[in-house]
């Protein structure tokens, strides 16, 4: 399972999208989402999220 963004907590800053090495994060309805099929679980997005709204596979 890939990383997930909690859309209720996302502030749409875009920090996660900027650091994603496979460009699997996009903006939908003013929130960021991770394409589960493309995510490689590197955790780069989770490390830069200012509101800690991204969870890894081991936390879901």
pLDDT tens digits in sequence order for the chain, 60 residues long: 899 999 999 999 999 999 999 999 999 999 999 999 999 999 999 999 999 999 999 998
**Model pLDDT, residue 37:** 97
pTM of the model: 0.92
**Model pLDDT, residue 1:** 83
**Model pLDDT, residue 12:** 98
The domain limits of the chain are 4-54
Query: What is the gyration radius of the CA atoms in the chain, in angstroms?
Result: 10
**Model pLDDT, residue 60:** 85
Task: Domain 4-54: state its class.
Answer: alpha beta
Quick check: 44 and 2 in contact, CB under 8 A?
A: no
**Model pLDDT, residue 31:** 97
């Amino acid at each position: 399972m890939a990383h997930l963004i909690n859309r209720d907590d996302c502030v749409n800053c875009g920090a996660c999208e900027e650091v994603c090495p496979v460009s699997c994060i996009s903006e939908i309805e003013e929130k960021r989402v991770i394409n589960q099929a493309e995510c490689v679980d590197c955790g780069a997005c989770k490390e830069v999220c200012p509101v800690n709204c991204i969870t890894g596979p081991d936390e879901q």
